[in-house]
A and B are shown apart, each in its own frame.
Chain A
Amino acid sequence: GAVVSQHPSRVICKSGTSVKIECRSLDFQATTMFWYRQFPKQSLMLMATSNEGSKATYEQGVEKDKFLINHASLTLSTLTVTSAHPEDSSFYICSSKWDRSTDTQYFGPGTRLTVL
């Protein structure tokens, strides 16, 4: 299957700082990337859908000014958690699709964010 990478895999930061997470599609051009959040032993919650070259579409209840998404190229999307607080601690996962018509998405390995 296709390879999607995330960096960093783990990050610990102080409350009030901003953290940037990168999601890279390594062997195909991703027209669409998704960002999910997951709490322990729970399912994935879609945060936003990102199409290359356009603004991300955020799900209801997700603050777009707090979770900044940039999809500047077909292989890279970034999620920046601004002014992070302990309640933002979670597992963040991205996924990529190479075509808008396909139902197959490839997931990254996730990023564990801990805010102290």
Chain B
Amino acid sequence: TQLLEQSPQFLSIQEGENLTVYCNSSSVFSSLQWYRQEPGEGPVLLVTVVTGGEVKKLKRLTFQFGDARKDSSLHITAAQPGDTGLYLCAGSNTGNQFYFGTGTSLTVIP
């Protein structure tokens, strides 16, 4: 089993603050995805990173894939209440098997 550990597990911050979520593994992945999930709904894909050291930006969200392709981070600038949700990373090697991280539950307080 290829484990992906996310930290922190829970995060509660005030609107306007910045935060970083980490996704770490001892395994190498060919690609890594980040998802956001709201209660009672399926996860929604935010980004896929495939190259070691790659940085992708999606408005206030910045995603980075580690040089060794074992870890990733998600940084949110000036968090808003709409960013509240469960953030999940998932690693893939063959494209036919995905290993999900342990999840980070984010609450942004207005």
Mark interface residues in B21-43 (1 if CB within 8 Å of A CB, else 0). Answer: 00000000011010100001111
Q: How far is the CB of A30 from chain B (nearest CB, A)?
A: 12
Q: How far is the CB of B24 from chain A (nearest CB, A)?
A: 14
Say whether A43 faces chain B, with CB atoms less than 8 Å apart: yes
Which A residues are in CB contact (< 8 Å) with B95? 97, 100-103
In the complex, are the beta carbons of A46 and B42 less than 8 A apart? no
In the complex, are the beta carbons of A109 and B42 less than 8 A apart? yes
In the complex, are the beta carbons of B33 and A103 less than 8 A apart? yes
Residue on B nearest A51 in the bound complex, by CB? B96
Query: Which residues between 23 and 65 of chain B lie within 8 Å of chain A, taking CB atoms?
Result: 30-31, 33, 35, 40-45, 48, 50
Say whether A32 faces chain B, with CB atoms less than 8 Å apart: yes
Interface residues on chain B, size class: 20 to 34
In the complex, are the beta carbons of B96 and A49 less than 8 A apart? yes
Query: Which residues between 24 and 43 of chain A lie within 8 Å of chain B, taking CB atoms?
Result: 32, 34, 36, 41-43
B45, B95, B99 — which one has the most chain A CB atoms within 10 A of its CB?
A: B95
In the complex, are the beta carbons of A110 and B45 less than 8 A apart? no
Say whether A93 faces chain B, with CB atoms less than 8 Å apart: yes
> A46 with B40: in contact, given A103-B33, A103-B48 (CB under 8 Å)?
no
Instruction: Please tell me which stretch of B12-20, B70-78, B101-109 contacts chain A, meaning at least 4 of its Cβ atoms lie within 8 angstroms of it.
Output: B101-109
B contact set with A: CB distance below 8 Å: 6, 30-31, 33, 35, 40-45, 48, 50, 86, 88, 92, 95-103, 105
A contact set with B: CB distance below 8 Å: 1, 4, 6, 32, 34, 36, 41-46, 49, 91, 93, 95, 97, 100-110, 112
Smallest CB-CB A-B distances: 10 pairs: A107-B42, A43-B103, A103-B31, A44-B100, A103-B92, A43-B100, A109-B42, A103-B95, A110-B42, A107-B43
Q: A42-B103, A106-B45 are in contact. List 8 more A-B contacts (CB 8 A).
A: A41-B105, A43-B103, A91-B40, A95-B42, A107-B35, A107-B43, A110-B41, A112-B40
